Structure 1
Amino acid sequence: MSGGGAQNPVRRKAGHRAAVLLALLGGFAASLPALAQRTTALPLHCADLAGVLLPPASIDAPTGGALVQSAVMIAATAVGNQDGDFCRLTGVIRAQTSGTPDIHFELNLPSRWNGRAVQFGGGGYNGVVITGTGPTPFSPDRAPLARGYATFGDDSGHRGDSSQANFGLLDEAVTNFGYLHLKKVHDAALALIEQRYGRTPEHMYFAGGSTGGREGYTVIQRYPDDYDGVIANAPALNFSGVRLLGVMVGQSEYRTPGGYLSPQLLEFVYAHAMQACDTLDGAADGIISDVEGCRAKEAQIIESLRCPTHEAGAVAVADECLTPAQLATLERLRDGMHLPYALAWNAERYRGYNVFQGVRFTSMLGLAHSPERLPQPAFFGNGYLFAQGDAYIKYFVTHDPTFDAIGFDVTRPGRYQQRLYVLSATIGAMNPDISRYLARGGKLITLQGLADEVISPNQTIAYYNGLIARYGEERVDDFMRLYMVPGFQHGNGVFIPSADLLGALDGWVSRGIAPQTLIATDIAQASNGRTRPLCRYPAFPRYTGKGNINRASSFECATP
């Protein structure tokens, strides 16, 4: 539901409390823009924030205003609470279009505030309120809230799990998902932080991964004045690109005869890559760290996978080799997508994956796991990339829930080409112009797995290289750190890093200490506790030949 009528009892109660608040602020009612100007006011108690109304003028984006629906003090002794005493606010930002869902948000205000705030990004298609009570991505140390940060997140303007794309039928919801929810929630949170503490944050940060990583780059590109530092991990920068490539992969598997790969064959590919490349970094540790060295062996690896050819053609041997059609599916993944037309910001391609360098496509987010195409695409059965791409075509592009993406011609989309362009501008984060963020001295940390099976690490690297080409290496080094992690996939993998990225970012912003090599602790179940250096791209961890192979001190950062 959008908006709320004058007969709504919740709004009447909120209006009374708002009137009391306005009186406390001394003449605020005569000047609504005062909140947007962020003038310092007397701090309010947590309970006083319940029912507060924020007028549309307090949010620098079109809304129907915001309402704080609840304000509750959470005691440090509460069951399950590891964040200390804090005030939890929940609320909504009203949509403008009838039928468009409101944006739901949560804001957490610690009793012992450190003067900083962190906005959390979402995941997938969002749809679930990000509470901000947990750790930032890949940093399972003490959560920011427990460290004194005010934290907040939202659902991006629709409800449902992160796999549901049916909100794509609603234009305002799509725009909210693409970028506007970030601004709306930021401004509402900032106004409430000021009311709680009597001042605005000294530093404002953003932290997210995957969709949240795209959101991190989005705020740098669209709202550079609002943030001092961003953690944007595994960013879905070219959102349309990865969805369209997912459609093409599905077509290779399900429309091309013999193009499907069973889980056994996918493990066969992974095992051959590991056998050829595991020790290129000097350590037999189950991690392919020297990805570029492994890429040089790619032709050899592919030949070792190919089925023997007889006069009648390739002969498959029970999940022990790959036919030309199966290799073509993997090569589609490796080569990515080249379009004969440009999406927003002249994006004409989506870089492919490190298919033959240690990506395990049997993960939950990998390729198909069903022996045949299911009637309804699903992540596990038909594969994450295809299922997400299919939903994107149905709901965002064609607005036809019955449309079958298997028949969609990505390279010749006809009447849908303009729609693809508009969507890529609305949701994508491929804009290379970040000059305002650079001028303000904003900082950025990005971490991603070289074995990522969902968001191509090569797309992230290409954007980074584009920044260097545009601004020069020295200027990019002054604001950005890129850490590409061997063995790490999209939240899983043979090495899952844990590192204090927020501490590194805050040290950079507040004290000018630029992070260099960081140390990551592996939290993968089979190898929990081992450590490795997080090397700045393009360097990778190489074993020195001395010392404990499970300790970062036994590795050095080497350049390919």
Structure 2
Amino acid sequence: MKRFLIVLATGAALAAVNLPMAAAEPSHGSASGASGASGCSAPAVRAPAGTEVESVTALRQEGGTIHGTGVIGGTVDGVPAFCEVTATLTHPGDGDHAKVRTWLPVSGWNGRFQALGGSAFAAGDNGVGMGTAVKNGYAAATTDGGLADVVDVGWALNAAGEVDAGLLKNLASRSQHEAAVVGKQVVAAHFGEQASYSYFNGCSTGGRQGYMEAQRYPDDFDGILANAPAVSWDEFEVATLWPQVVMNNEKTYPSACEFKAFTDAAVAACDPLDGARDNLVNDASRCDFDPRRLIGTKVVCDGKELTVTAADAAVVRKIWDGPRTASGRRLWSGVPVGADLSGLAGTTTDTNGRAKGVPFRVPQLWATTWLKKQPSFDVSTITYDQFTRLFEQSRAEYGGVIGTDDPDLSAFRDSGGKLLTWHGQADQFIPAQGTVEYRRQVERKMGGTQRVDDFYRLFLAPGAIHCGLNKGVGTIDDLAALTAWVERGKAPRTLSATLVDATGRSVDRDVCRYPEVSRYRGHGDPAAASGFRCVLPSRH
């Protein structure tokens, strides 16, 4: 069996993962094969439905080190030479200009096509994922959707201060589909044959795009790898403002150090639930640690001794519990126990030494730009009642556009597609329970766990942060598992992973398929995968 070094990245840090590939790889794009394989020319591109092709260009790139653009950045080394084909599309009447980039390895094409998803408000990859795919023999494609970088949303409102519906639609659904259509055309024209298999690969926004592909364009891909997916976007984006709303309304702003004290205490209390002290919460939904247990505890932060107050504990309790209406109706799940609370509950002190909140930019921009339609709106003024109204407004205005939570995946199932997802149980930006709830909806719609497992599998990774197993904070064998499922019918029972526990130590673990959770066997090294097995939880 051949093994290739794959570097998966959606952030500034990278993780090297040895991914097994099929022993018999087809030979594609050799010098004796299609004439386009060793050249680099702009092919004719047929416009996808509803679009016009403005231009198609081609440029040979010598590879080497690819530096990711924008805020996320990152690098990938050892990228071989490739042909870059850029097709610019427009939607008549919308005035947009969406670029679809396709990278074609000059040699060593493995016969596969891989499309790369975006991050936050960026529709596509910044170059690191593309370089990684080409390095491992894939022809790869992505799209900018006519948009900008991850938190550059100057495109969102038009000159009249109204939401640009066309560009939002690009982000929500159509540009990723068009990248699949155009990318496959370019591959076929360049190599003289269609790709043997087509895959999608994304995390966060990219994960949501993967789910949208399965829901609306079920024939685009044979396999979809969609991790930490931002599904139910219209609801969870507002929900992730909740920690800031709580602190502002309670007038209490714990520091990152104080938040860490609560998290550490919860992990210590809930760690033994799997039968071993391995510094991982293997089933965060069962952890019911009460933050009031820390009231009166001394915490040393920046050399100062602080005492945890009842107000601090009340804030943490509300953040873990998640957003509710004034009558107590739950709107969404909270930050999971074990996750870094300062991700969404960021705080700082102003020049006068007064504490204040620092909201995470993505939900802040969603509220100010798409909901209030006032980019300068101060989210610190949002009351509990106003929060509920914003939540309902977002659901009403955008659920059908970018909700991405249609549980009917029958067309994707019938097309033979496979959907694979892992989500970190310590995800500090997108609570994993949202993905769990979507999976439950699919099960209710499509006949239960066993039938859904035939084409869609979810894995919950203990201790893993947002997209962290693709960012150097641990590793996971996800793309190899998907290709084995698609190409050899080998459905993954577990995903081999190296996780990082609460102390920063690396531990090997087989991540369990939902709804199973990891349990210690009662003997063996808690840092070794062999010490654990996957079992059904007492409740889920």
TM-score (norm 1): 0.76
Name the counterpart of 2:521. 544
- Tell me which moved more, 278-287 or 188-197: 278-287
Q: Distance in 1 between matches of 2:56 and 2:168?
A: 24
Question: Could you say which residue in structure 2 is the equivalent of 1:235?
Answer: 229
CA apart distance, 1:288? 1.7
CA spacing shift, 1:328–1:99, aligned 2, 3 Å: farther
Specify the SS of the correspondent of 1:206: strand
Quick check: 2:243–2:344 contact (8 Å CA) kept in 1? no
Deviates more, 1:431-440 or 1:517-526: 517-526
Find 1:323's aligned residue among 293, 296, 310: 310
State the alpha-carbon separation in 2 of the partners of residues 453 and 474 from structure 1.
Answer: 30
SS at match of 1:226: coil
CA contact (8 A) 2:279 2:503 kept: no
CA contact (8 A) 1:83 1:145 kept: yes
- Aligned with 1:70: secondary structure? strand
Counterpart of 2:216?
A: 222
| Matched residue, 2:495 | 518
**CA distance in 2 between partners of 1:554 and 1:185 (Å):** 44
> C-alpha displacement at 1:225, in angstroms?
1.2
Q: Deviations over 1:21-51 (max 9, x none)?
A: xxxxxxxxxxxxxxxxxxxx9753564523x
CA distance in 1, matches of 2:46, 2:536: 54
Identify the residue that residue 146 of structure 1 maps to in structure 2. Answer: 135
1:261-276 → structure 2 map (5 Å cutoff): 261-276=254-269
Aligned residue runs from structure 1 range 272-287, under 5 A: 272-287=265-280
Distance 1:65 1:394, change over 3 A: same
The Cα of 1:234 is off from its aligned counterpart by: 0.5
Judged with a 3 Å threshold, the aligned counterparts in structure 2 of structure 1 residues 271 and 495 are, in CA distance, closer, same or farther, namely farther
Q: Deviations over 1:382-421 (max 9, x none)?
A: 032xx322211222223222323344523235xx966652
Alignment of 1:102-141 (within 5 A): 102-110=97-105, 111-126=107-122, 129-131=125-127, 133=129
Stretches of structure 2 that go unaligned for 5 or more consecutive residues are 1-32, 68-75, 158-163, 298-303
> CA RMSD for the aligned pairs?
3.4
State the shift of 1:450 in Å: 0.8
* Bigger fraction of residues in strand: 2
Q: Is the 2:495–2:511 contact (alpha carbons within 8 Å) kept by the matching residues of 1?
A: yes
Amino acid at match of 2:135: A
CA contact (8 A) 2:112 2:196 kept: yes
Aligned-partner residue type, residue 371 of structure 1: T
Q: Secondary structure at the match of 2:346?
A: coil
Question: Is the contact between residue 252 and residue 315 of structure 2 (CA under 8 Å) also seen in structure 1?
Answer: yes
Q: Does 1:63 align with 2:51?
A: yes
CA distance in 2, matches of 1:397, 1:421: 11
Deviates more, 1:162-171 or 1:418-427: 418-427
Q: Is the 8 A contact 1:106 1:130 kept in 2?
A: no
Q: Does 1:353 align with 2:344?
A: no
In 2: Cα distance, 1:465 partner to 1:291 partner: 17
Say whether the 8 Å CA contact 1:542–1:557 is kept in structure 2. yes
CA distance in 1, matches of 2:227, 2:413: 19
> Equivalents in 2 of 1:521, 1:64: separation in Å?
46
Q: Which amino acid aligns with 2:53?
A: G
How far apart, in 1, do the equivalents of 2:266 and 2:502 lie?
Answer: 22
1:311 corresponding residue in structure 2: none
- Structure 2 partner of 1:367: 345
Matches within 5 A, 1:402-551: 402-408=376-382, 409-413=386-390, 420-471=395-446, 472-492=448-468, 496-522=473-499, 527=504, 530-551=507-528
- The C-alpha deviation readout for 1:316-353, integer Å capped at 9, x for no partner, is x96432434x444334433334579xxxxxxx943223
| 1:44 match | 36
The structure whose RCO (Cα within 8 Å, separation 6+) is larger is: 2
**Structure showing the higher helix proportion among its residues:** 1
SS of 1:212's equivalent?
Answer: helix
Q: CA deviation at 1:129?
A: 4.4
Alpha-carbon offset, residue 241 of structure 1: 1.3
Q: Which amino acid aligns with 1:166?
A: G
Distance 1:475 1:372, change over 3 A: farther
**1:132: Cα distance to partner?**
6.0
Distance of aligned partners of 1:98 and 1:485 in 2 relative to their CA distance in 1, 3 Å threshold: closer
Compare 109-118 and 328-337 and name the one that shifted more.
328-337
Matches within 5 A, 1:307-346: 319-324=306-311, 326-337=312-323
For 1:108, the aligned partner's letter is: W
Q: Deviations over 1:152-210 (max 9, x none)?
A: 122232123x1223322122111101111111211111111111112222221111111
Paired residues, number:
474
The CA deviation at 1:261 is: 2.0
Work out the CA distance in 1 between the residues paired with 2:141 and 2:363: 29
- Percent identity of equivalent pairs: 27
Task: Report if aligned partners of 2:60, 2:81 keep a CA contact under 8 Å in 1.
Answer: no
Q: Which amino acid aligns with 2:185?
A: A
Aligned equivalents of 1:373 and 1:99: distance in 2?
44
TM-score (norm: length of structure 2): 0.79
Deviations 1:98-139 (A, max 9, x none): 664x2233212122222221111111111664336558xxxx
Change in Cα spacing, 1:383 to 1:209, as seen in structure 2 (3 Å) is same
* Counterpart residue type for residue 226 of structure 1: D
For the residue of structure 1 that corresponds to 2:99, the secondary structure is strand
Q: Which 5+ residue runs of structure 1 have no aligned equivalent?
A: 1-40, 136-142, 309-316, 341-347
Match of 2:11 in 1: none
Bigger Cα Rg: 1
Taking structure 1 as reference, are residues 149 and 453 closer, same or farther at Cα in structure 2, changes over 3 Å only?
same
Contact 1:394–1:402 (8 Å) recurs in 2: yes
Change (3 A) 1:419 1:252: closer
1:253 to 219, 239, 247: 247
User: Does residue 74 of structure 1 match 2:74?
Assistant: no
1:291-306 alignment runs, 5 A limit: 291-295=284-288, 298=289, 301-306=290-295
CA displacement, residues 423-447 of structure 1 (integer Å, 9 cap, x when unaligned): 2221221111111011122111110
Q: Residue by residue, what CA displacement relative to the aligned partner does 1:298-321 show, whole Å, maximum 9, x if unpaired?
A: 3xx33303459xxxxxxxx96432
**Paired residue for 2:301?**
none
Match of residue 209 from structure 1: 203
Secondary structure at the aligned position of 1:220 is classed as helix
- Other-structure match for 2:83: 87
Asked if the contact 1:43/1:195 (under 8 Å) is kept, the reply is: no
- Name the CA distance, whole Å, in 1 between partners of 2:465 and 2:474: 10
Q: Could you report, residue by residue, the CA deviation over 1:262-286 in whole angstroms, capped at 9, with x for unpaired residues?
A: 2122012112112212233233332
Measured after TM superposition, the shift of residue 240 of structure 1 is 1.8
Q: Could you say if the C-alpha distance between residues 132 and 272 of structure 1 is closer, same or farther in structure 2, counting changes exceeding 3 Å? A: closer
